[in-house]
Chains A and B, each alone.
Chain A
Amino acid sequence: MRAYILKRIGLGLVVVLGVVLVTFVIARLVPGDPAVAWVGLHATPREIQQARHTLGLDRPLYAQIVTYVKGVASGNWGTSIHTKRPVLSDIGSRAAASLELVVTAMLLALALGIPLGLVSARWHGRLPDLLVRLGAVVGVSMPTFWMAMILQLVFFQRLGLLPVAGEYDPSVAYLNPLVLYTHVPVIDALLNGNWPMLQSSLTHLVMPAVVVAAYPMAVIARMVRASILDSLGEDHIRMVRALGFSERAVFGRFALKSTLNPVLAVTALVFAYSLASTFLVEAIFDWPGLGMYAADSIRSLDTPAIIGVTLLVALVYVGSNLIVDIAQAIIDPRIRLN
């Protein structure tokens, strides 16, 4: 087991290094001079040259890459051109908001997607199945920005039940200041015992989390349904039925087990993907996450920030896949780690 994990970590690092190399080279090939963005509009050619030297852009590409990789290993991910702050610090301040949103969305997707898939398989070909399948198609195909705006229209404008945007109400935060431990308002409010802020942050979380959850929930529901229907024809399910177990037990206990591995795998993939790809949801709900940071960085040709976000996403992909592989082996003894 240990050898397997070490081997996977080693391979993962090779993947991450490859991603960094490719991103670095592409970022340098794109037209435009980061030094110009650094010094501003009225810089003289001498100042631009000075900035190129300061940013190390006047050195050969391989030397820049080696310096960057060494820096990353020692916790220096470079300095953002558009915020002028360390990239790692920028990412840290935004990662908390993204994690809050994406983790909540994933929990929501699992909590609803698995039962819906079960219902769909249990009443295969009947009305509940049709409704779940229809819902899944809508969840997968509906553009997130459109769904976000519809939810805002209904739950904020028409019903007045939920706040329209933001992580919490600034006035509530002013009256009930939050001591920050994790930079995740919901958790910090709980740790502070700050109920008004807990209420404010939870209600603000609902709509964006539902929108982010829509796609993975639909994928999970369809995957659970397909896996269960596949497994229903297998010998062990026929055996269980022959032994007289109820249909509820057949579906809920035995057939469901076969779906856990694919669900875990897809959850890991969608989790990493969502961290940096939810910028539309973040923009509409005014959510200060990584997606917005990535979008702003691309717009301002901020190569250190772009490479930093890419590196983080690569690390999350590799890390979450490693965790899922190990978890799958623990859940399903048929999978041998080596």
Chain B
Amino acid sequence: MLGIRTRFLALAFAVLMLFVLSNCGSTSKLAQVQNETFTYAANVEIMPGGWDPSTDYSSELIAMAQMYEGLTRYNAVDKKVEPLLAESFDSSNGGKQWTFTLRSGVKFHTGRPLTALAAKAAIERTIKLGQGAAYIWDPVKSIDTPDAHTLVFHLKYAAPLDLIASAGYASWIFDTKAAGSGDLGKWFAAGRDAGTGPYTVDTWQPGQEVQVTLKAFPGYWGGWSGTRYQRVVFRYVPAATTTVQLLKAGDVNAEMQLTPQLWASFQNDPNFLTTSTPSYYNFFAMLNTQRAPLSDVRVRQAIAYGINYDGIVAVLKGNAVKSSGIVPAGLFGHFDDLPNYTYDPTKAEALLREAGYGPGGKNIKLVLTYEQGDNFEAMTSAVIKSSLAPLNIDVGVRPLQWSVLWAKTQASDLSQRQDIAIYGWYPDYPDPASWFVNLFETQNPPVYNATYYSNQTVDRMIGEAMKLTASDRPKAETQYRDIQVKLLQDVPAVPLVGMVYQRVLPRSVSGFQDDPAYPDVVFVYQLTPVK
């Protein structure tokens, strides 16, 4: 008869052996599955707004871009719109009519074919729901379908529909008949997709660590020749240090939001590829032009000269580049040779003295707000505060939750508004108009224009530039140049820095190309797993 202790040890040994043996047979299969699976680590929830391609307007994009496609896609390398579901497209009537010819042989994941009527129904549903980024279709008056593969858009006013159709939100074409006679919104909410993209949903576990798993859609119009990933797994990994360990262990293939320090730690590692791409996400110090002393253009110009831009770039350790004008690099309308401000405390001091302020003069006290929890903005604000202090400008820095910060910029009691708000901005589709319309056009009451700048000439120039974008893009570029020159003179906002996307991928992944028009998206279909 064995003693209790001996029996316990024997049981423990048996359990251990069971574990070891159960693992032996599946090792090779496991390796094969791991090699065919692309795992993306995200530091945000993957589908926070649900699964509806009409309304999603957040980090869903990183998964949606694998399941859905739009009529076009923007290529940031050559700054051109490329065909996707539309084989070709053309504009007429001064940009007020657009014709898209659809690709043949495309099937939705539901099995139904893509037709002009189906595409029209998808866009019209998005317009009708009017949520998320549905506003991008505002110019559309009506859509005609003269044949099964042709879509003709009639617009209320000239607009760049090729760019709009390439948006990362609200532009997806999907099967509106996916739910049959049921409620399509509820059908999507259960974690289903009805797109045409290379991958389709396999499992969805809201709130879990492995939140979404996609599998290859065998009927994808692009085909599956060559070696491609068969599965895409999205893991929610909030801690950057954990992501680093997972990357090094080979448990994840991509992480798009490492800190600059952690990104730098991979630079000399031969097993990893590090990339650095300027984004369309840039930052401004929005100056309250309606309140003294910032209502004086000399004070605004002094602040623009008084900010140590190189200091901001230095503290952000390669995660940022100094801005040139309003439009970020890589987007049409960007120019490197604009009359930008550089750090020049002497000029700043002279301008301040002229306005009755500066060292030895009247002290300026300003309240600066930025989004709480945003490390990028926190460090930028700290540099602004320290570089303006020697100019006798005291900046009180207040981190606020975004909704609070935004409400403050819109306060009806003007004394409650901030003096400076740090704003980060990126476009919903790759069109410079996004910055000018939202941040600098006259808004009464203000929505995003936290500078409260109102200039009828600039408003008119913005309207013209938008029309030209639809009909004559080179002329539109010239117009955007002129607007930026004017805004740099008036300085309602100081362009600070643009964010640089720093990515790390293992060398076992080939073919990665960062596209700032689709932030944090990895188009997995374009990648090749390397053994």
Contacts and interface: CB of A to CB of B under 8 A. Distances in A.
Nearest to A199: B19
A286 B209 contact: yes
Interface in A34-76: 34, 36-37, 39-42, 45, 47
Nearest to B135: A42
Contact of B131 (A33, A40, A285, A292): A40
Interface residues of A, number: 51
Interface stretch (B2-10, B116-124, B232-240): B232-240
Nearest to A40: B57
Contacts of A40: 57, 131-132
A245 interface: no
Q: For chain B, what secondary structure do more than half of its interface residues adopt (helix, strand, loop), or is it mixed? A: mixed
Instruction: Give the size category of B's interface with A.
Output: 35 or more
A42 B205 CA distance: 29
Interface stretch (A132-140, A169-177, A228-236): A169-177
Contacts of A172: 26, 30
Interface stretch (B44-52, B66-74, B147-155): B44-52
A196 B22 contact: yes
Nearest to B133: A42
A84 B50 contact: yes
B105 interface: no
Interface string A10-54: 000000000000000000000111101101111001010000000
Interface in B442-475: 445
A164 B207 contact: no
Given A174-B33, A284-B241, A285-B242, A167 B403 contact: no
B381 interface: no
B229 to A, nearest CB: 13
Contacts of A120: none
A165 interface: yes
A34 B29 CA distance: 48
A287 B209 contact: yes
Contacts of A299: 373, 401
Interface stretch (A149-157, A313-321, A323-331): A149-157
A82 interface: yes
Contacts of A288: 207-209, 236
A173 B209 CA distance: 13
Contact of B23 (A97, A166, A196, A292): A196
6 contacts: A82-B48, A175-B26, A283-B239, A284-B241, A286-B237, A293-B207
Given A152-B242, A170-B233, A173-B210, 8 more contacts: A31-B407, A33-B403, A94-B207, A165-B237, A165-B246, A174-B213, A286-B236, A293-B207
Interface of B: 18-19, 22-23, 26, 29-30, 33-34, 37, 39, 45, 48-50, 57, 130-133, 135, 205-210, 213, 231, 233, 235-239, 241-242, 245-246, 248-249, 251, 373, 400-401, 403-404, 406-408, 445
